[in-house]
Amino acid sequence: MSNSLINLSFKKAKEEKRPALLTYTVAGDNTKKKSLKILKSISKYADICELGFPHNTPIADGGQIQTSAYRAIKNGIKINDVFSTYSLF
């Protein structure tokens, strides 16, 4: 097993005899600033944070993720914004 950050997160949770907490949020939903604040807040408690890139055809995603992606796009989030905003995180 490799020592990737993901594997290390699962290993730590196993050693602590607890389930690993994985979270997901869409970048730019509700606003860029609020989205980053949400990510920082949940990262204090989560073992792994997955950041979704909003796109205009999220047909394979559930309704809540679709709505989040549409809201982020409507508010003007662009892929370059995701990299510039969240790379500092």
Mind listing the pLDDT tens digit for each residue in 2-48? 789 999 999 999 999 999 999 999 999 988 888 889 899 999 999 99
pLDDT (0 to 100) of residue 85: 77
Domain that holds residue 74: 5-86
pLDDT (0 to 100) of residue 89: 63
Per-residue model confidence as pLDDT tens digits over 74-88? 999 998 888 887 776
Q: How far is CA 81 from the centre of its chain?
A: 14
Of 29, 47, 61, 81, which one is the catalytic site residue?
61
Q: Is 15 a catalytic residue?
A: no
Q: How many domains does the chain have?
A: 1
pLDDT (0 to 100) of residue 32: 85
State the pTM of this model. 0.80
pLDDT (0 to 100) of residue 56: 82
Of 15, 16, 29, 50, which one is the catalytic site residue?
50
Distance CA(84)–CA(24), nearest Å, equals 19
CB neighbour list of residue 53: distance below 8 Å, 6 or more residues apart: 26, 27, 79, 82
